[in-house]
Amino acid sequence: MKRLAFIVATWFGCGYWPWGPGTVGSLAAIAIAWIAVHFGGFGPSWFLLWAVLLTPAGEWAATVVEKEAHIKDPSIVVVDEVAGQWLTLAGAVTLNWKSWILALVLFRVFDIWKPWPARRLERLPAGAGIMADDIMAGLYGALVLFVAGCFNL
């Protein structure tokens, strides 16, 4: 089960990227979503479902990896970025090149900035804290992306 936890937490190895593993996790989430939209006919609402389904598995995996690594919120854990990025994409009114780029930028900005209450949620224990701050960042990103989409931006 530890091996499965590492696979999920690092999002199939994305977390091992030496520079900016969180951004690599976000890019992997965008790539999967883009493929789903263009080859599977999925729309933004599916990304909300995916984020909701991934969150408990991500919390479990992040908890296991944090315990094994003996480090709080190890940088190899990027499943939180995947869930948060999908949540941001769920706010898209339409999916075009601008919304894909804006979703990536918004999520990364909110994930790094961690406006209230994201920073506070980060203090939750183990995997709950690892996932919660990125879920909050994803919600902020989704809201801004939705409002921008309403103004055809």
Name, in order, each residue with C-beta under 8 angstroms of 115's C-beta and a sequence gap of 6 or more.
140
Q: What is the pTM for the complete model shown?
A: 0.95
| pLDDT score at 151 | 87
pLDDT above 90: percentage of residues in the chain: 97
Instruction: Note the pLDDT tens digit of each residue in 77-92.
Output: 999 999 999 999 999 9
Instruction: Note the pLDDT tens digit of each residue in 90-127.
Output: 999 999 999 999 999 999 999 999 999 999 999 999 99
pLDDT above 70: percentage of residues in the chain: 99
Q: SS3 letters for 44-73?
A: HHHHHHHHHHHHHHHHHHHHHHHHHHCCCC
DSSP-derived secondary structure letter, 124: S
| pLDDT score at 92 | 97
| pLDDT score at 24 | 98
| pLDDT score at 152 | 79
Residue with tokens 């075009």: 96
Euclidean distance between CA atoms 111 and 115, whole angstroms: 8
Instruction: Note the pLDDT tens digit of each residue in 10-19.
Output: 999 999 999 9
| pLDDT score at 44 | 95
Of 64-68, 137-141, 148-152, the least confident: 148-152
What is the average pLDDT value for the chain, to the nearest integer?
96
pLDDT at position 153 over 80: no
The pair of three-digit structure tokens given for residue 109, joined into one six-digit string: 């900005």
The pair of three-digit structure tokens given for residue 1, joined into one six-digit string: 């089960």
